[in-house]
C-alpha cells in the first residue's frame, strides 16, 4: 500500500532541520550540511552521485531504505533552489546539476507557475501552485502504488504533518549544534497526530528514529 513518508531527514541536537541564512553557498543554511555527515560516506550516497565505494552498515541501510519503493517526491521551493519570487529567466534547474538523484517525478510547491522541467536520469520537476493536497494527489497518481516521499524543507514537512498526511517519519538526530535555524517539530503534537516510535537505532554519526502513525 502506498505511504507518505519523510525519510532520512536530519535534525540538529536542538531539533533544527535547517540552519539560518540559506544561500547558494549554504543550501541548507549556515551549518546545515554538517547534519548530513551520517549519509555522505555511505555506499548509497556515493552511488547516487556516480561514485563507487562508500561504507556499508546501519547508516547505509537506512539511506538505502529511504529510497526504496519511492515512486514520487514532494519538495518545497527552497529545496529546489535559492530563487525567490518569479522564476525570472528560468535558468535555475535545481541544486543537483543535469542528473538529479530522484529518478522519478518530483512535485515542487511554489506560488509561481513554471512548465515541467525534464532532467536526465528519469527526474521531471513539476511545479504545483495550488497547495499541498493537490500536490499529494498528483504525486500519488505518478507514484502508481509506490510511496510518496516528502523531501523537505522544514516548512513543507510541517505543513504535511499538521494536515495529518504523513504516515511515517524517519529522523536522524545528530550531535550538531546550530544555535538557531528552522525548528522541525516546534508546536507539533506528534502523539495527538497518532504517531508512536517504532524503531530507534544509534550509530556513531547519529540516532535513527522511526515514527509511524497508528492505523485509523
Parallel/antiparallel/unpaired status of strands 195-202 and 207-213: antiparallel
- For the CA atoms of 166, 31, 206, 59, what is the dihedral angle to 10 degrees? 80
Count of C-beta atoms within a 10 Å radius of residue 114: 17
pLDDT digits (tens, 9 = 90+) for 5-27: 999 999 999 999 999 988 888 88
Domains of the chain: residue spans and CATH: 4-8+22-51+68-84+93-204 (3.40.430.10)
**pLDDT given at position 216:** 62
Cβ atoms 9, 17 nearer than 8 A: yes
Query: Grid coordinates representing 210?
Result: 522511526
pTM, two decimal places: 0.94
Per-residue pLDDT band for 138 (boundaries 50, 70, 90) equals very high
Matching residue, cell 501552485: 129
The DSSP bridge partners found for residue 208 are 172, 201
Give the Cα separation of 158 and 140 in Å (integer): 19
pLDDT digits (tens, 9 = 90+) for 84-111: 888 887 888 888 888 899 999 999 999 9
Amino acid at each position: 500500500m502506498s505511504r507518505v513518508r519523510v525519510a532520512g531527514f536530519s535534525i540538529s541536537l536542538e531539533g533544527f532541520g535547517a540552519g539560518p541564512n540559506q544561500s547558494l553557498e549554504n543550501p541548507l543554511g549556515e551549518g546545515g550540511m554538517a547534519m548530513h555527515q551520517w549519509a555522505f560516506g555511505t555506499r548509497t550516497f556515493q552511488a547516487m552521485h556516480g561514485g563507487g565505494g562508500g561504507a556499508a552498515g546501519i547508516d547505509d541501510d537506512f539511506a538505502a531504505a529511504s529510497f526504496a519503493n519511492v515512486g514520487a517526491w514532494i519538495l518545497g521551493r527552497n529545496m529546489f533552489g535559492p530563487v525567490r519570487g518569479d522564476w525570472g529567466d528560468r535558468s535555475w534547474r535545481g541544486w543537483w546539476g543535469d542528473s538529479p538523484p530522484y529518478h522519478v517525478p518530483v512535485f515542487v510547491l511554489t506560488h509561481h507557475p513554471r512548465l515541467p522541467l525534464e532532467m536526465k536520469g528519469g527526474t521531471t520537476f513539476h511545479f504545483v501552485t495550488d497547495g499541498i493536497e493537490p500536490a499529494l494527489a498528483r504525486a500519488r497518481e505518478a507514484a502508481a502504488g509506490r510511496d510518496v516521499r516528502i523531501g523537505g524543507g522544514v516548512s513543507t514537512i510541517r505543513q504535511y504533518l499538521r494536515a495529518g498526511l504523513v504516515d511515517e517519519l524517519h529522523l536522524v538526530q545528530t550531535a550538531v549544534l546550530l544555535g538557531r535555524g528552522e525548528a522541525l517539530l516546534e508546536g507539533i503534537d506528534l502523539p495527538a497526530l497518532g504517531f508512536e516510535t517504532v524503531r530507534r537505532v544509534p550509530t556513531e554519526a547519529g540516532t535513527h528514529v522511526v515514527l509511524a502513525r497508528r492505523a485509523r
